[in-house]
Amino acid sequence: MGSLIAGFDAGQTHTRCRLALLLESGALQPLGQGEGPGVSHLDAAGGEQRFQQALQQSLAAALLQERTPAEPLQAAAVGASGIETGSMVQSRAQQLAAAALQLPADRLSVSGDERTALAGARGACSAGILLISGTGCIALGRNSTGHEHRCGGWGWLLDGAGSAMDIGRDGLALSLQMADGRQKESGLRAALWQALDLNPEAPAAPQAIKSLVVQPGFGAAGFARLAPVVHALAEAGDQQAQAIVARSAGALVDMATAIARELALEAPLVWTSGGAIEHLGLLRQGLDMGLQRSCPGAQLARPSGDGCDGALSLARALLRPR
């Protein structure tokens, strides 16, 4: 029937596994898809365990699909948040994934999720830039000679500009400045605090926020969940919320412009991906307008495929010599 292969897209919020049969003709026959929990950096508390569980649980969910044949996995590629190409972290992730999926090293590829996403996005195109803006943010470009350049993706504690996390965190920070009189009060504070199930009028609410954001389960995803609240206020005309969204759009523009410069890309295609850039209309509008000023001729484009598609293409390549 063919060889069963898997492509994984492991982000901070959730992990997707997509299965396919590699037929003798070289074509891929799509099968099931499953989801599992997200991953964190391997050096974070419980990071290695979370990584393996994300792969195993998403694979198990995909295998439950009725169309999936009951046969061993032959090859897989994993694109995961926080994996730096050529680093010791990548080597560790390769070993962890091999054990979790019960695959030999030569049947497995593990890289950063930006690389599998770019492989899926560009399809038959030889060059272009991928901007990913979800919980976190990263950008990767490739030119016609195969050279690549990356911007961003240094972890939410250091470099979240352009992401949903950044929008939510900046909004929450601004709300606390409103509470102590440093900034003019607006509907932003009440909306964000209510989204956190806090009473905006309660004197203890600011201290409750200070405690909440340091809880292990909050992190980048907790801030990112506030981004739609900030965006809704920006759409309604709140100028401070608009400024927050505009700053994040500007950060995306800066990344794309830097990649175009480093790779000598003229009027590049710019593929966009991620929940923030897909669902926050003002963020995308700001990106489009900014690109026209900073990178003339650049065109926003929909990706040909997603991170799972890119991972499947890499997994297929592992079996080609056979």
Nearest to 81, CA basis, from 274, 259, 304: 274
Contact 151, 132 (CB under 8 A): no
**127-302: same fold as 3-121+306-319?**
yes
Query: Would you identify the CATH topology of the domain 127-302?
Result: Nucleotidyltransferase; domain 5 (3.30.420)
Contact 15, 38 (CB under 8 A): yes
For 95-135, what is each residue's pLDDT tens digit?
Answer: 999 999 999 999 999 999 999 999 999 988 889 999 999 88
Report, in angstroms and rounded to the nearest whole number, the Rg of the chain calculated over CA atoms: 21
Contact 304, 122 (CB under 8 A): yes
pLDDT at 311 over 70: yes
Query: Would you state the pLDDT for residue 66?
Result: 65
Beta-strand relationship, 108-112 and 128-133 = unpaired
Reported as a pLDDT band with limits 50, 70 and 90, residue 86 is confident
| Rounded Cα gap, residues 322 and 312, in angstroms | 16
| Rounded Cα gap, residues 101 and 91, in angstroms | 15
| Rounded Cα gap, residues 153 and 94, in angstroms | 20
Query: Would you state the pLDDT for residue 11?
Result: 86
Q: What average pLDDT is seen over the chain?
A: 93
pLDDT at 55 over 50: yes
Architecture of the domain delimited by 3-121+306-319: 2-Layer Sandwich (3.30)
Print burial letters for 126-157: b (CB count within 10 Å at least 16), e (below 16).
ebbbbbbbbbbbbbbbbbeeeeebbbbbeebe
For 280-293, what is each residue's pLDDT tens digit?
Answer: 999 999 999 999 99
For 227-261, what is each residue's pLDDT tens digit?
Answer: 999 999 999 999 999 999 999 999 999 999 999 99
Better pLDDT: 76 or 217? 76
Query: Would you state the pLDDT for residue 40?
Result: 87
Q: How far apart are the first and last CA of the chain?
A: 15
What's the rounded mean pLDDT across residues 264-279?
Answer: 94
Question: Could you tell me the CA-to-CA distances from 232 to 171, 173, 188, 207 in Å, in that order?
Answer: 12, 17, 10, 25
pLDDT at 24 over 70: yes
Query: Would you state the pLDDT for residue 322?
Result: 46
Can you give the residue ranges of every domain in the chain? 3-121+306-319, 127-302
Q: What is the pTM of this model?
A: 0.84
